[in-house]
Amino acid sequence: MTLPDTSASRRDVLKAALATGGAAALSACLEAVDDEPIPQGVDDPETLPDRQFAWNDSLDHDEAGNVVLPEHHLFLYLTYDGEAGNDGTPTDADRERLTAALRTIERAYERSNRGVVFDLGYSPAYFDRFEASLPESVDLPPPRRLTPVDTPTLDEQDALLQLASDRSDALLAIEETLFPDGDDTPETLNGVAVTGRLGEVFRIDDRRTGFIGPGLPAANQGVGGIPEDGPVPDAAPLFMGFKAGFAANQASEASVAIEDGPFAGGTTKHVARIRQQLDKWYDENSHEEMVAKLFSPQLAESGAVEGVGENLGDDSGITAELFAAIDETADVFGLVGHAEKAARGNRDSEGNVRTLRRHVESTDNDNASLHFPSYQQQISEFEAVQEAMNGTDIVADNPEIDPRVRNGIFRYIFVENRGNFFIPPRSRRAFPTPQGGDAA
Ligand code: HEM
């Protein structure tokens, strides 16, 4: 296979290979990166932060100070079958196997976007196998339908492992090595001895892939859901043509961490998979109309968002005054913006942002979609944000606004899956019991 050698093509090979998966895809990646080494991890994983999801300090930041997510993401939805005769509850032997496998990743790859960051979460269905319940400090209801306009499939696998890196060959190598297929079982990962394999304790039920970063959506827009004339701007990190995740509009990792109880340092994670249908987005809207629907009609009118939104710096411009005036905005413009609407539910009593959003694009199944992970102390906080985004109150008061029309971006996005997960602190991440016991 002849591989192009420009940097843009290299990123695209890395993206395509992860979406395809398997040993041949890993080989294609390795040719594209031409032996460029990936930094190894720590000798002693005990030195790593206890908050599994505390990635930000180790990731790149842009000039304005916003976190830049790794370019490639792998979401492995996992099933734990347990050992026969143990009622499906995890054994200490399995805890040790899982701990060894996770530590293998941490020894093999630097915990950064140049290496690999990851977190492992458990679903309510996982905890159902135990007689005891989770402590009150962990709010983890089963996933459910959260908008009036979508009927998603509920993800009820036992666990979700999300891995992210600028080097998809690292993600593929982890998958190939820790879930070995047949006789080919490499003994090392990035030059580090394998001491445990995920395949010894988990089965992969579903494999989803994601990517983000300027240029990648434009280069990968030849899929369902995007018009054939290729309208996605080269500078856009996301298919809809704008930047998201500004520092001032994101919760800090510390503030989404559970504060008390056996799982202090853990958090909850909601993950939606959202199909995008962007023909009308690109065919019907001018730049100003896009800004109105994604941010706020008031920001559109003042010309606040230029191009993909780099000029915004570290703040989307969605102020408390703006979202407090949303009823007036709806009256005047007959339209409300996605961000201003959702932000109404996204502040605590002191005005701090409640959720940490880390969404990335996908071309799985040859259709444009978005993986939308959101971290918050309690799942009920995410549900409140989603309710604010639904805008049911605004729709009820404004004849011009329908649940899917002129109501932010609802016309273009369709929720296909929803899952809720609990991310235990690192020290309790190996098959936790509801009381917090594990063998690590
Ligand atoms: C294709 C789907 C989506 C796209 C392209 C998108 C994009 C954006 C953009 C550009 C902003 C403004 C900049 C920022 O603060 O990041 C924003 C804000 C926001 N989005 Fe989305 N979003 C999507 C789906 C969702 C979903 C499903 C939720 C779930 C409730 C959500 C929750 C929020 C919240 C809470 C804010 C406001 C942040 C604040 O409090 O200021 N978004 N989104």
Task: Dump pLDDT digits (tens) for 12-50.
Answer: 899 999 999 999 999 999 999 988 999 999 999 999 999
Mean model confidence pLDDT for the chain: 95
Q: What share of the chain is helix, strand, coil (3-state, %, to 5)?
A: 30, 20, 50
Which range has the worst mean pLDDT, 25-29, 226-230, 236-240, 433-437? 433-437
User: Which of 145, 356, 357, 358 gets mutated to test ligand 1 (max ligand atoms within 8 A of its CB)?
Assistant: 357
Residue 206 has pLDDT above 80, yes or no: yes
Positive or negative CA dihedral for 427, 430, 435, 437? negative
Residue 439 has pLDDT above 70, yes or no: no
Q: How many residues in the chain?
A: 440
Closest CA to 341 of 356, 327, 360: 327
Atom of ligand 1 nearest to the CA of 370: 1
User: How remote is the C-alpha of 257 from its chain's centroid?
Assistant: 17
DSSP, residue by residue, 292-348:
HHHT-HHHHHTT---TTSGGGTT-----HHHHHTHHHHHHHHS-B-HHHHHHTTSB-
Closest CA to 342 of 361, 369, 377, 316: 316
Closest CA to 168 of 218, 106, 115: 115
Predicted model pTM: 0.96
Residue 176 has pLDDT above 80, yes or no: yes
User: What three-state secondary structure class fits 26?
Assistant: helix
- The residue-averaged pLDDT of 361-382 equals 98
Query: 339 C-alpha to center of ligand 1: Å?
Result: 5
Atom of ligand 1 nearest to the CA of 415: 27
**More confident call, 388 vs 1:** 388
What residues have CB less than 8 Å from 70, skipping those under 6 apart?
Answer: 59, 113, 117, 164, 165, 166
Query: 338 C-alpha to center of ligand 1: Å?
Result: 7
Query: Within 13 Å and on the Cβ side, how many CA atoms surround 439?
Result: 12
Q: How confident is the model at residue 293 (pLDDT cuts 50, 70, 90)?
A: very high
Atom of ligand 1 nearest to the CA of 389: 30
User: Which of 359, 360, 411 gets mutated to test ligand 1 (max ligand atoms within 8 A of its CB)?
Assistant: 359
Closest CA to 42 of 128, 96, 111, 142: 111
Strand partners, 415: 274
Residue type, 3: L
Residue 1 has pLDDT above 80, yes or no: no
Residue 440 has pLDDT above 60, yes or no: no
Q: What pLDDT is recorded for position 3?
A: 38
Atom of ligand 1 nearest to the CA of 346: 40
Q: For the chain, first and last CA: distance in Å?
A: 44
Closest Cα to atom 21 of ligand 1: 339
Query: 249 C-alpha to center of ligand 1: Å?
Result: 9
Atom of ligand 1 nearest to the CA of 374: 29
Task: Quote the CA–CA distance of 345 and 323 in Å, as a whole number.
Answer: 10
- The residue-averaged pLDDT of 282-289 equals 98
Query: 357 C-alpha to center of ligand 1: Å?
Result: 8
Atom of ligand 1 nearest to the CA of 243: 10
Task: Quote the CA–CA distance of 123 and 143 in Å, as a whole number.
Answer: 9
Residue 273 has pLDDT above 90, yes or no: yes
Q: How far is CA 74 from CA 49, 66, 304, 341, 373, in A?
A: 21, 22, 34, 30, 12
Cβ distance 76 to 175 under 8 Å? yes
Taking CB atoms and a 6 Å cutoff, what residues make up the pocket around ligand 1? Answer: 238, 240, 242, 244-246, 249, 272, 274, 276, 294-295, 316, 318, 338-339, 342-343, 346, 353, 355, 357, 370, 372, 385-386, 389, 413
Atom of ligand 1 nearest to the CA of 312: 13
DSSP assignment letter at 86: T
User: Which of 246, 249, 274 gets mutated to test ligand 1 (max ligand atoms within 8 A of its CB)?
Assistant: 249
Strand partners, 122: 159, 422
Task: Quote the CA–CA distance of 416 and 277 in Å, as a whole number.
Answer: 12
Q: How confident is the model at residue 87 (pLDDT cuts 50, 70, 90)?
A: confident
Task: Quote the CA–CA distance of 56 and 49 in Å, as a whole number.
Answer: 11
Give the Cα-Cα-Cα angle 66, 69, 75 (nearest 5 degrees).
150
Residue 408 has pLDDT above 70, yes or no: yes
Closest Cα to atom 34 of ligand 1: 342
Residue with tokens 């444009």: 368
Closest Cα to atom 39 of ligand 1: 343
